[in-house]
Amino acid sequence: MTSGIFLLLFGCFFLEHSTVLKKKLWAEIDTHQISFLTLLTVMIFSGIAVRFSDGRTFTRTLTSFFLLIFQILAGILFNELTNKAIHHADRSTFSIMSTMTIPLLLLFDLLLGYTVSRWQIMGVMLLTFMLVYTFFKGHFSMKGIKYIIASNLISLGTIIAFKYTTTHYASTELMNFYNAGGMSMLFFVIVCKTKGFKGIKQVLKLKYLWFASLYGIGNVLTAAAYKFMIASMVIALKRFLSMILGVITGKLYFHEKHLLKKLSVASLIGLGVLVMHIEPLIASFLEWPNHNQLHTVAPLLPLSSKREEGSRDNFCTAPLEP
């Protein structure tokens, strides 16, 4: 488990550093170029991960192809909205308000018939209260909030499709490779159509490749944490670290105000996320043999013997990065 924690720490650091560089370079390249370059690096690093993993098969059915196409198309819209949110919103606002996906996923869990524990309900109530407080009185700038909300709504669909696909048809590494590959090719076409091939050559410079490589490495490191920790713990710690780092970098690099108040809000939201995952967290720390049985799945989503570690978690604890 210690290895997983270190992977998360370094992974979140690389991801946050990449986002800070992206925000600073915005005046030089547009959203389509940024999306092409970052997704290209994710595809490359995911391909390396697939090469050294056992999950190389994709079950070919009409449903699996439909889900793959949906994830690629929805992912393009998600990337566009997320890049605009990063550009227009403060780092602290973006990192904290992005957790609004969690209550939406819990609601979807209930609609699908998942068993939701009282800890999850208490945690999401605390999280929702802090998000509402942040929106109205939290000393946060609301610049770019429409892009943050829209990207979170789109991510809800991509998370659900991604989780269902990796449960029944392919491994997480392979789906990351397919999704990133499909989206990077489409963004390649968009860049060539709007800027010509010179738009591709423009981003193949060291300073752009550097921030994109940090993003790809960060994704691989955080994904590798799932090999050492259950999914619930990985997601809880990742969200908490991302919020804290977002608030700190907002102050250090962009001179955002009210650091202590923002850290307090981020800590309380992080506490809500940890409370939601308290049962699997305790199970992991105590090494209970049956910790994967903590969530009960409705018949609508039958269990599969080929699932990844943590795949018995409901959608509320599914990975947020499709």
Q: What residues contact residue 200 under an 8 Å CB cut-off, 6+ apart?
A: 33, 36, 188, 191, 192
| Secondary element (H or E) of residue 210 | helix 206-224
Ordered per-residue pLDDT tens for the chain, 322 residues = 678 888 999 999 999 999 888 888 877 888 899 899 999 998 998 888 888 877 668 888 999 999 999 999 999 999 989 888 888 888 888 888 888 888 887 887 787 777 778 888 898 888 888 888 877 776 678 888 999 999 989 988 888 888 788 888 988 788 889 999 999 999 999 999 999 999 999 999 888 999 899 988 888 888 778 777 766 567 667 878 888 898 898 888 888 888 888 888 888 888 888 888 777 667 666 654 444 443 433 333 332 333 333 333 444 433 434 3
d(CA 222, CA 234): 8
DSSP state at residue 257: S
> What is residue 298's predicted lDDT score, i.e. its pLDDT?
33
C-alpha 113, offset from chain centre: 24
- Over residues 184-242, the pLDDT tens digits come to 999 999 999 999 999 999 999 888 999 899 988 888 888 778 777 766 567 667 878 88
Q: Residue 277: what are its φ and ψ, rounded to 5°?
A: -110, 20
Nearest of 278, 302, 312, 270 to residue 117 by alpha carbon:
278
> What is residue 67's predicted lDDT score, i.e. its pLDDT?
94
> What is residue 230's predicted lDDT score, i.e. its pLDDT?
64
> What is residue 55's predicted lDDT score, i.e. its pLDDT?
66
> What is residue 297's predicted lDDT score, i.e. its pLDDT?
33
Is the entire prediction scored with pTM above 0.85? Answer: no
Half-sphere exposure of 167 (CA within 13 A, CB side): 22
- Over residues 78-110, the pLDDT tens digits come to 998 988 888 888 888 888 888 888 888 788 778
d(CA 116, CA 314): 9
C-alpha 281, offset from chain centre: 20
